[in-house]
Amino acid sequence: MSFDRKIKIAPSILSADFANFGAECQAIEEQGADWVHVDVMDGHFVPNITFGPAMCAAIRPHIKGVMDVHLMIAPVDPYIDAFAQAGADVITAHAEAGPHVHRTLQAIRAAGAKAGLALNPGTPAGAVEPLLDMVDLVCVMTVNPGFGGQKFIDMTDKIRALRAMIGDRPVHIEIDGGVDPSTAPLVTRAGADVLVAGSAVFKGGSVGNPQVYGDNIRAIRQAAEGVYA
- Is 176 a catalytic site residue? yes
Angstrom distance (rounded) from CA 134 to CA 123:
18
**Cβ–Cβ under 8 Å, residues 137 and 114:** yes
Q: Which helix (H) or strand (E) holds 45?
A: none
- CB of 146 within 8 A of CB of 131? no
Q: Which of 39, 42, 68, 180 is catalytic?
A: 39
Q: Catalytic: which of 42, 68, 89, 176? A: 176
Pairing of strands 137-141, 114-119: parallel
For 104-130, give one letter per residue: b (16+ CB within 10 A) or e: bbebbbebebbbbbbbbeebebeebee
Annotated catalytic residue 77: no
CB 187 within 8 A of CB 142: yes
Active site residues: 39, 176
